[in-house]
Structure 1
Amino acid sequence: MSPRVAAPSARQTELLEAAYRYVLAHGLAGLSLRPLATAVGSSPRVLLFLFGTKDGLVRALLARARADELALLDDLRRAGRPVGLAPAVERVWTWLAAAEHRPLLRLWGEAYGRSLVEPGGAWAGFARATVDDWLDVLAACQPRPERDGEDGAARRTLALAVLRGALLDLLATDDEQRVTAAVRHQLVLLGG
């Protein structure tokens, strides 16, 4: 029998949501507990009590950000989802390119990069988990015969690479029109 994990308290949930809004605005680089605690109406001691360590808080914040990402992915898994990689990529890109999602996407980019250069601690597995999540969703959007085999996996990987590269370019330049045109051009090449 595995140990039971206690559900977060209402206060822990409230502080996590406030801290999440804070890191969406300020990022995780150089995150310090004292300014964060002040901004969320708490104290460093309470944050450490609720989340164990600063790494525990960062892990909780990454999980919270990933929940927003997974909500989009779950939407693609539901009935009526796009069939084929090109329609799926188009739908995902429309969501990614929306200006209101930039804070979340900057946080994702920061966490993804930190996971690559600091593979332990709070960042452990973040980049790999997001790649796996996206590839699973893209596979579900491929028709059955296309999804199986090396070619289907290669096409999903290419689609993900296009999305990830376009996202990084968009975050770096804020040139939505140019980057969206490039994604649409690649969709023609990607086909259904």
Structure 2
Amino acid sequence: MAHGRREELLEKAYAYVRESGISEMSLRPLAAAIGTSPRVLLFLFESKDGLIRALLTRARRDELLALDGVLPRGVDSAGLAIWEWLSDPANASVLRLWVEAYARSLGAVDGPWTGFAAETVADWLDLLSRAEPGSSPAHRTAVLAVLRGALLDVLATGDVDRVTAGVRRVLAS
């Protein structure tokens, strides 16, 4: 029973933080928005940090499943396929959440954010490796760097056409 309730509230909290952000999340407003109490959240997730860790894990799973589903296999166009997903406005809320968590993780030595950035780098490099099995680690790293930078740019400016043209130019070379 508690496991089912935990999953239900995790999904509601995930929807909430996709719209409201996670780094300044407060339990009271979150609980009110998802129809529960801070006490129940603390019981199910052990602490606010436990809830944040569960939300970050949920976000990574969502992102990786979506990306894995759109990637061609065994071709050198995985970067462009990933960019199509990254630049789709329908994915903006999960990507804003990712950027927020990634930035918060940088330099974190303790707490729920620790390791998130490094783990997502490993996730994405693994994804690129499976999509482009013959590519070198240096190539995958360069593609990832272009995609991350382009993502930050498009989230900041909303200029998908300009950024897409830049991504295509760099990844085609």
Larger Rg: 1
**Does 1:46 find its partner at 2:40?**
yes
1:143 Cα offset (Å): 4.5
1:77-96 matches, within 5 Å, as 81-85=72-76, 87-96=77-86
Q: Deviations over 1:100-156 (max 9, x none)?
A: 100000000000000103242101111111111111121222243xx3xxxx11111
User: Structure 1 66/8 Cα, relative in aligned 2: closer, same or farther at 3 Å?
Assistant: farther
In structure 2, what is the equivalent of residue 183 of structure 1?
Answer: 167
CA distance in 1, matches of 2:7, 2:97: 19
In structure 1, what is the equivalent of residue 129 of structure 2?
Answer: 139
Root-mean-square deviation over aligned CA pairs? 1.6
CA distance in 1, matches of 2:170, 2:66: 22
Unaligned runs of 5+ in 2: none
In structure 2, what is the equivalent of residue 59 of structure 1?
Answer: 53
In structure 1, what is the equivalent of residue 115 of structure 2?
Answer: 125
User: 4+ residue stretches of structure 1 with deviation over 6 A?
Assistant: none
Q: Secondary structure at the match of 1:65?
A: helix
> Which residue of 32, 37, 45 corresponds with 2:31?
37
CA distance in 2, matches of 1:39, 1:94: 32
- Aligned identity (percent) is 54
> Which residue of 17, 21, 35 corresponds with 2:15?
21
Q: Give me the TM-score of the superposition, normalised by structure 1.
A: 0.85
Report the more deviating stretch, 118-127 or 104-113.
Answer: 118-127
Unaligned runs of 5+ in 1: 1-6
Maintained 8 Å contact 2:101/2:116: yes
CA distance in 2, matches of 1:8, 1:90: 42
CA distance in 2, matches of 1:8, 1:95: 35
1:76 Cα offset (Å): 5.5
> Which residue of 135, 142, 161 corresponds with 1:158?
142
